[in-house]
């Protein structure tokens, strides 16, 4: 029996609980670990509230820990869980500093458990289709990649609006897009980030060792009532691919959401012609949990979403944050 503990109880904790529930494991969620008690998570009806993480980690029935807490706590929680031999599904970003991220990676290397950083965009079906198309050689060599994400302002939060705790928009939000740029373009060298006004969109340009260029645009100032939208465009030496996602974030509980696509499609254009594919509605958090569970059960490394890639995405995001503050290009410092 796979015992699961969820650390945290915000929107991401709800999303993880829903994913485990859709895999038939809702009743396997044994604990919800938070400092203050609250109503049960919708998809974890049997979970016991436990404020002491040590109690959770000492329970031999718990095999998997979903870490869904504010980013400053990621390193200590993940390291303690890995040290206890648990497998850890850790929300992104992996940490707020490269030093903490490396410490998590090093502990995972010593642990009997499996570590995966939950870069859930890798599990959105449209992004997966473009990745598979690229890896099949259809697009040739990636030359330029553009990615963006757009949402209304986040809900009031004592930690998210403090950039010393969240990293701000480029570290907590645009990191998804930096991860995608790295996936196609390889080793990042430097980042130039700018915004025209303090509350405006952030645009970051990333130069890559192979000569490619990436661009990420993030904005969390769309009007109330706007749902969410994201895009990915890959320009290759043999063709183009683009993805458009427009999602309605529908509540599954008072503080939870999961994407429900209004538009989700991929278009590929090569010398052979143009094809367009509609993506069926799906829950990427379920796909992510399913993949992670298979890694835990088989002992396989999570090569679809490796920890080194999470660290590299963080390195680009931190460089973008520094560039935004200085107004000058900043080199990417990798671990």
Instruction: For 160-184, write each residue's pLDDT tens digit.
Output: 888 888 899 999 999 999 999 999 9
- From 229, 254, 247, 246, select the one nearest 14 (Cα to Cα): 254
Same domain, 261 and 235: yes
Distances in whole angstroms, Cα of residue 112 to Cα of each of 52, 65, 87, 152: 22, 13, 8, 41
Distances in whole angstroms, Cα of residue 11 to Cα of each of 15, 51, 107, 250, 251: 6, 18, 27, 12, 9
Note the pTM of the prediction, 2 decimals: 0.95
Same domain, 43 and 109: yes
Same domain, 92 and 166: no
Same domain, 256 and 213: yes
Who has greater pLDDT, 35 or 193? 193
Same domain, 204 and 83: no
Place of tokens 């080793």: 187
What gap in Å lies between CA 118 and CA 140, rounded to an integer?
A: 28
Quote the Cα angle for 102-19-229, to 5°. Answer: 80
- Backbone φ and ψ of 20, nearest 5°: -60, -40
Same domain, 222 and 136: yes
Q: According to the model, what pLDDT value does residue 260 have?
A: 57
Beta strands in 48-139 (DSSP E): 48-49, 62-67, 87-91, 115-118
- From 185, 182, 45, 77, select the one nearest 121 (Cα to Cα): 182
Same domain, 136 and 263: yes
Handedness of CA 125, 128, 132, 134 (dihedral sign): positive
Same domain, 264 and 327: yes
Same domain, 182 and 67: no
- The CATH number of the domain where 194 resides is what? 3.30.360.10
Place of tokens 């404020």: 51
DSSP-assigned letters across all residues of 219-250: EEEEPTT--EEEEEEEEESSEEEEEEEEEEEE
Same domain, 92 and 140: no
- The CATH number of the domain where 29 resides is what? 3.40.50.720
For residues 23 and 44, the answer to whether their CB atoms sit within 8 Å is no
Same domain, 69 and 165: no
Task: Please count the structural domains in the chain.
Answer: 2
Same domain, 90 and 9: yes
Domain with 71, as residue range(s), is 3-119+289-305
Tens of pLDDT, residues 188-241: 999 999 999 988 999 999 999 999 999 999 999 999 889 899 999 999 999 999
Tens of pLDDT, residues 123-164: 999 999 999 999 999 999 999 999 999 999 887 677 888 888
For residues 119 and 309, the answer to whether their CB atoms sit within 8 Å is yes
Which band of pLDDT confidence, cut at 50, 70 and 90, is reported for residue 257? very low
């Amino acid at each position: 029996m796979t015992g699961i503990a969820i650390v945290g109880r915000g929107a991401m904790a709800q999303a993880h609980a829903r994913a485990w529930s859709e895999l038939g494991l809702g009743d396997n969620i044994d604990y919800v670990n938070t400092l203050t008690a609250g109503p049960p998570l919708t998809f974890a009806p049997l979970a016991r509230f436990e404020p002491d993480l040590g109690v959770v980690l000492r329970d031999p029935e718990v095999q998997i820990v979903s870490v869904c807490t504010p980013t400053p706590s990621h390193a200590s929680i993940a390291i303690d869980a890995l040290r206890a031999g648990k497998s850890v599904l850790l929300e992104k970003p992996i940490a707020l500093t490269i030093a903490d991220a490396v410490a998590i990676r090093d502990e995972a290397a010593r642990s009997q458990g499996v570590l995966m950083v939950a870069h859930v965009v890798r599990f959105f079906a449209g992004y997966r289709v473009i990745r598979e198309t690229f890896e099949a050689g259809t697009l040739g060599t990636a030359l330029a990649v553009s990615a963006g994400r757009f949402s209304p302002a986040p809900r009031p939060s004592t930690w998210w609006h403090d950039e010393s705790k969240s990293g701000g928009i480029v570290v907590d939000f645009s990191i998804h897009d930096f991860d995608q740029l790295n996936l196609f373009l390889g080793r990042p060298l430097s980042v130039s980030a700018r915004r025209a006004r303090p509350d405006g969109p952030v645009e970051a340009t990333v130069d890559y060792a192979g000569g490619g260029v990436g661009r990420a645009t993030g904005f969390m100032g769309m009007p109330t009532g706007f749902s969410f939208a994201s895009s990915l465009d890959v320009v290759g030496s043999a063709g183009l691919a683009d993805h458009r996602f427009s999602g309605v974030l529908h509540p599954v509980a008072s503080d939870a959401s999961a994407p429900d696509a209004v538009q989700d499609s991929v278009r590929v254009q090569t010398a052979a012609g143009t094809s367009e594919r509609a993506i069926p509605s799906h829950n990427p958090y379920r796909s992510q949990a399913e993949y992670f569970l298979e890694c835990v059960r088989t002992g396989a490394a999570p090569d679809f979403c490796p920890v080194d890639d999470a660290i590299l995405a963080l390195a680009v995001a931190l460089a973008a944050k520094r560039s935004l503050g200085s107004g000058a290009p900043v080199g990417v410092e990798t671990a």
